[in-house]
A and B are shown apart, each in its own frame.
Chain A
Amino acid sequence: EIVLTQSPGTLSLSPGERATLSCRASQSVSSNFLAWYQQKPGQAPRLLIYGASRRATGIPDRFSGSGSGTDFTLTISRLEPEDFAVYHCQQYGSMWTFGQGTKVEIK
């Protein structure tokens, strides 16, 4: 099983700042089959990024994904108030596993 480790656990930032979230895999993720989801309290996760760097339909371009192999990054270029949430990475190249999540909170 591929284990995904997200860091940091919590990121405290102000609106307008840049957020950089990390997702590290215990082994290489096949074909960069890595996705990112956003989850707000009481809501289901929402797909942001798939294939490590492809934005899902309707996702603003301030969200970007990068990385390959075992190291992946989600970047939010300028935080909007609605971006404060929990972010999960997921690999889908070898069955399916999720990271433990990173909370982006208002500083």
Chain B
Amino acid sequence: QVQLVESGGGVVQPGRSLRLSCAASGFTFGDYAMHWVRQAPGKGLEWLAVISYDGTHQYYADSVKGRFTISRDNSKTTLYLQLNSLRPEDTAVYYCARGGEQWRPAYFDYWGQGILVTVSS
């Protein structure tokens, strides 16, 4: 069965960095685009970033462009999100989600359980 498991969250001071990981299993990881989505406390879902199945294309929401970097290692079936210059408003639960095969427009059919990132001094 498809599983996505995030790790790497925690409490971090403003201006510092953090790297989130999402370990994937149960499907051919290298065939799918992957996404990061976050949800601030009591708020809605916010799409953050996508990476193509082969890692050659990445796109970001304006709110994180230039601060966050999405990457993947298909040999390790793992997705990453590097979070730099963190701000208190980045406090949220971060989810990884599976997108479409190859580079087709697609919904998110599987989600990780989410990992909490708290930015506070």
Contacts and interface: CB of A to CB of B under 8 A. Distances in A.
Interface string B10-39: 000000000000000000000000010100
B interface, by DSSP: helix, strand, loop or mixed? Answer: loop
Interface string A17-60: 00000000000001101010100000111110010000010000
Q: Report which residue of A33, A43, A47 has the largest number of chain B beta carbons within 10 angstroms of its beta carbon.
A: A47
B44 A101 contact: yes
Number of contact residues on A: which range applies? 20 to 34
Contact of B35 (A56, A96, A99): A96
A97 B37 CA distance: 10
Given A98-B46, A101-B44, 14 more contacts: A30-B105, A31-B105, A33-B105, A35-B107, A44-B95, A47-B107, A88-B45, A90-B45, A90-B107, A92-B107, A96-B35, A97-B47, A98-B44, A98-B47
Nearest to B110: A47
B38 to A, nearest CB: 11
A100 interface: yes
Interface string A71-100: 000000000000000001010110111111
